[in-house]
Structure formats: structure tokens, C-alpha cells
Amino acid sequence: MSDLKSIIQPYIDASLKAFQDLDADKTSEFYADDAVLIEAGNGCTYGKKKITKFNQQMIEKSGKTTTEVSVKVIGV
């Protein structure tokens, strides 16, 4: 399981850095063109371009933030 975490963590770190740098384009770099962003209780955003726009709006609303994410692998 730790191997999976070591594979995933760099992508999470890079995404969080992009948000901290207020770079919406960079936040979406790891999404496929047909990706779906699921926001619990608020629906879905379909496609990389719309996800980038969503991320830009989120950055504009929140500004500079600090976020911490931990990866827990279950069911493997």
C-alpha cells in the first residue's frame, strides 16, 4: 500500500502547490480532457476546460490558502 501512496502523493503535492500559487491552468494539468470533478453536494463539472474554469473561480473566491491532504489507501 505504501507503494501506491508514494505514486499518488507527488501528484497531490503538485496540485496543491498550483492552488497555493494561484495557477488555475496548472491545477488542471493532471486531469484528462474528459475528466469529471465531483463536488459532494453540489454536482459535477465535466471536462478539463470546465474544471480549469471551476478551479479559477475557486482561486478567486479563496485567494491564497494553505491546504493539507493526506492519502489513505483502502481496499487494495
Burial class from Cβ neighbours inside 10 Å (0-12, 13-18, 19+) for residue 56 reads: middle
Q: What confidence score (pLDDT) does residue 43 get? A: 93
pLDDT per residue as tens, the chain (76 positions): 568 878 888 988 898 899 889 999 999 888 999 999 998 899 999 999 999 999 999 899 988 877 777 767 776 6
Q: Decide: 31 and 23 in contact? Cβ < 8 Å.
A: no
Domain 2-62 class, CATH top level: alpha beta
Would you list the domain boundaries of the chain?
2-62
